[in-house]
Chain A
Amino acid sequence: MPREVIDLPHQVEYLSILDENGNLMDEDLEPDIPEDRLLRMHRTMLLARRFDERMLQLQRQGRIGTFAPVKGQEAAQIGIVAALRDSDWMVPSFREQAASLWRGQSLVSFLLVYGGFYQGNELPEDTRNLPVAVPVGTQPLHAVGLSYGINYRGNDEVVATFFGDGATSEGDFHEAMNFAGVWQTPTIFVCQNNQWAISVPRAKQTNSETLAQKALAYGVPGRQVDGNDVLAVYSAAKEAAERARSGEGPTLIECVTYRLTMHTTADDPTRYRDEDEVKRWEKREPIPRFQKYLREKGLLTDGDVEELEEGIKAEIQEAIDRAEKRMKELGDEELTMFDHMYAEMPPYLEEQRGELAAELEAKEGSNA
């Protein structure tokens, strides 16, 4: 036939399980998640939200520097990591506080990094989280390399990598998808489409109907889910992880969500978007929807929420106290800037380190 429509192996499927008010739309789609896990998911989402709010206060008081708030994207992150095993890997960008908390990162570590201390990047033993990647869209390639290693060693792990809608315009994202498709790596590409790349709306990022369909060009399945519905995100991630583990290769999951606040604390979103739009998305907030579901299941009461909120508040305060104490202790450890540049410090770095040591000593002498 001279003209015919080519049948592609994949199509984009959209999934949502809870409606905007948190009601289960189709019981058949309800994922089977143990109760303790559901409650842990809820607590981590709440912890991430309250921590975000508290960090914003600290930033406004000048006690920490710039950071990228997660507000509104808690479900898109927790739904993914809750479907992973501890032995799986996470390759984040720079807004994955919720996911990182689930995977064992401490509140103190965030406060240290955003307080300007790289010591916060010291990772817990046995962690399989890569550190934050700031250059947009560059880290999915690392996830593909890691998952090539998994295949090469014949291991039973998967790698989930996070990025945003803006990252899908970056060349490195496309190279990562392409390599993953060719190599059939166990990679889950998680696009948190929060509608805004700083001031640039989703519509100006690409003319594609969905971001999920980018996967089709690489022979990879693409799924779109309601990213504010933690159950939908979880289900998609579970399916992608099972595909990856059984050797069926990568999946792209587009979580349709919304950045309810600024890009980073250095940004003023009132310059470029309407309050009405924000209000519309506030109605689809991930946390109240999930709470409604948990209440319906009899797993959560008003009293529980109150108790949780108090526990979280105390936990955050304790972390702030510890972090501020630690920052004081670390205040004069400038010489550590020479650490971890190479496995062995080259002689010229030893020399420069000596130079700085002398500078610091002279300064201390003149202050005395």
Chain B
Amino acid sequence: MPKMTMVDALNTALHQEMNRDESVVVLGEDVAVDGGVFRVTEGLLDAFGEDRVMDTPLAEAGIVGTSIGMAIYGLKPVCEIQFSGFSYLAFEQLEAHAARMRWRSRGAYTVPMVLRTPYSGGVRALEHHSESREAYWAHTPGLKMVIPSAPRNARALLVSAIRDPDPVVFYEPKAVYRAFREEVPEEEETWPIGKAQVAREGDDITLISYGAMMRPTLEAADKLEEEDGVDAEVIDILTIAPLDHETFAESARKTGRVVIVHEAPRSFGPGAEIVARLVEKSFWYLEAPIRRVTGYDVVIPLFAYEKAYLPSAERVLRAARETLKTPA
């Protein structure tokens, strides 16, 4: 199996799906000649031509709005918004139209499009290049919201997103883009959207995370084992919406102790929804208050203070130890 970075894996997924299905088209700013500012779409223009790989004018609502029309016509647009911080110019198109066209037309017209966009902090970037606003999209009925955490699941999930009959917002953790390599099988793989994954098995405590925060979370789990002899189970959410609560509920019922980790601001973030579902469905199994390790409810600082903002393995570890302590 070849070892790939997440950028390679995503690029492979796009090549594979464009080869497989001629209705797949790619559009966005700098995605064709330049291959995308992170090179995720590199080589697509040469392989598939400019009718299928388009450098668009610099206009996010235009990219998403025309993708909606293409999808209604039967194409499968995979559009890129260069940074998720600029996707809000297309908010109306997603909220008012992509998410609702199936509903509004009573199933006559559907929007099987994918919006790919990098999110997450930790890359020493300018303002608007580090946010995590998955809650906006997850809060919109009719959209799906997917966040891979590693090269292999990134490729499998992007393939699934492209084949999905509904609009999918696909957040790519840019801190993971080239952070490490992972073996990705030669043969085609998919991963069901709407399904979380047990990334590490354990009986003592459940750590729930996704995206770029999976790394510090897994690191904390390793430390818990090494330093405390604690067996942590780690759940990788993968799909924020529709949220698969069965997988983490099952784990929580087993361990009775839960810590949720995300870099999005805490208030009204995905962690709040996860806590609510655990309280609704698994309250009597819980042995300690659920803790959240998250970004703070502030504008993410420029990179000088970014480390203090982003959840770290140490913060996760501390929260896990507190959770394991109670009740004494």
Contact = CB atoms under 8 A, between A and B. Distances in A.
Interface in B75-126: 75, 77, 89, 92-93, 96-97, 101-110
A121 interface: yes
B217 interface: no
A334 to B, nearest CB: 15
B31 to A, nearest CB: 15
A142 B105 contact: no
B97 A133 contact: yes
Contact of B61 (A134, A141, A143): A141
A147 interface: yes
A153 B56 CA distance: 19
**Chain A interface helix/strand/loop/mixed:** helix
A148 B69 contact: yes
Contacts of B72: 130, 142, 145-146, 149
Nearest to B110: A343
Nearest to A155: B73
Given A131-B104, A149-B75, A348-B243, A179 B109 contact: no
A139 B165 CA distance: 21
Category for how many chain B residues contact A: 35 or more
Contact of A119 (B74, B101, B106, B166): B106
Counting contact residues on chain A (CB < 8 A from B), the size range is 35 or more
B32 to A, nearest CB: 13
Interface stretch (A169-177, A209-217, A240-248, A279-287): A169-177
A145 B71 contact: yes
Interface in A101-135: 118-119, 121-123, 127, 130-135
B73 A146 contact: yes
Contact of B70 (A118, A146, A348): A146
B232 to A, nearest CB: 26
A147 B97 contact: no
A175 B65 contact: yes
A3 B112 CA distance: 51
B68 interface: yes
B105 A146 contact: no
A138 B104 contact: no
Contact of A130 (B51, B59, B89, B109): B109
Contact of B102 (A91, A143, A147, A341): A341
A153 B164 CA distance: 21
Contacts of A130: 72, 105, 109
Interface string A143-187: 111111110110000000000000000011001101100100000
Contact of B65 (A122, A138, A153, A347): A138
A349 B142 CA distance: 11
Contacts of B89: 171
Contact of A343 (B67, B93, B165): B165
B242 A135 contact: no
Given A146-B72, A149-B73, A172 B109 contact: no
Contacts of A145: 65-73, 77
A346 interface: yes
Interface of B: 25, 51, 56-57, 59, 61-62, 64-75, 77, 89, 92-93, 96-97, 101-110, 141-142, 144, 164-166, 194, 242-243, 245-246
Interface of A: 91, 118-119, 121-123, 127, 130-135, 138-139, 141-150, 152-153, 171-172, 175-176, 178-179, 182, 339-343, 346-349
10 contacts: A91-B69, A134-B96, A145-B65, A145-B73, A172-B62, A178-B57, A178-B59, A179-B66, A339-B107, A340-B106
